[in-house]
Copies of this chain bind each other. A is one copy, B any other.
Amino acid sequence: MATLPIKTVGVIGTGVIGASWTALFLAKGLQVIVSDPAPRAEERLRSYLEKEWPTMSKVGLSPGASLKNYEFVDDISDHLGRLDFIQENGPERLDFKRSLFAHLDANTREHIILASSSSGLPSSEFITDCQKNPARILIGHPFNPPHLVPLVEVVPHPRTGAQYVTGAMGFYQSMGKDTVLVKQEVPGFIANRLQAAVCGEAYSLISRGIISAQDLDKTVTSGIGLRWAFTGPIMTNVLGGGGDFRHLLEHLGPASRAWTEDMRNHEFDFNSESLDALNGSVQEWVSKVDVETEERKRDNSMLALIKDKSNDSV
């Protein structure tokens, strides 16, 4: 397979994730063909892109980047032959994705990569009707908001070709993303599982009245989350153990298992009473803050940190 330069990208679906991918691809100087059947989707996309463009300018625009380089089309079928890469962001319904990918596979050039943003459905489940080249289909799972958060999880299905995995990783990296390779399909992939682990225990502790929602978050933002922005759980262990990871684990194992057992005995069960207790503590805090302001502050601070980190690694 000869590697084609990727100049024109198709974005299917312009909800939160698809719109954000569109902003990123435009900022990186690509041409984007985009479609979404929802009412007023074109208008919403335009106003989103106009709102986010100043942020993209701060992230950094590539030569040739322009807000004019996208075309919203009613039916992407008419344009599939000229796409060099597709990022799909449709609804998380198996029947929908199965027929969409069969159609995309049949009507695109044989070697272009078809990536799905799906966090829920592994691609092995929706390639079943693809006849031409299902080996170029994989998951490229971003994090909200994708035009800011660098992480993309690349998840091949068992028959995805190695060259397409390499191609997708290279493409996302050229978009300024940090890619990780999920070598086998597992429910939730990696980040959502780690989040579910933290959130489950957080919900349990709050609903049991052991800590308030506000203090729970502070435990993370003033403590463990600060470290995790720079060193992940493994390197944090390595540094904490003075470099000897295995020794630390043998030493930590018993204590950690006692905590884990207690956590398992109090697992959050999502029943109505637990949800009420949890939500009560959350509302006591959230009712006092302006959510939009919090989001803007978070995104600005995160953007500054991401820039610092990428300068640091140069």
Contact = CB atoms under 8 A, between A and B. Distances in A.
Interface of A: 120, 143-144, 149-151, 153, 178, 180-184, 186-188, 190-203, 205-206, 208-213, 215-235, 237-240, 243, 245-246, 249-250, 253, 255-260, 262-264, 267, 270, 275, 278-279, 282-283, 285-286, 291, 294-295, 297-298, 301-302, 304-306, 308-309, 312
Nearest to A213: B234
A187 B260 CA distance: 9
15 contacts: A144-B240, A150-B226, A186-B205, A187-B262, A193-B205, A194-B198, A196-B260, A199-B237, A200-B260, A224-B228, A225-B230, A235-B294, A238-B282, A238-B294, A245-B282
B202 A233 contact: yes
A205 B278 CA distance: 29
Nearest to A289: B235
Contacts of A181: 211-212, 215
Q: How often does this chain occur in the complex, in copies?
A: 2
A234 to B, nearest CB: 5
Contact of A233 (B199, B208, B283, B285): B199
B223 A249 contact: no
A187 B231 CA distance: 25
Given A197-B263, A211-B190, A259-B188, A279 B233 contact: no
A181 to B, nearest CB: 6
Contacts of A285: 234
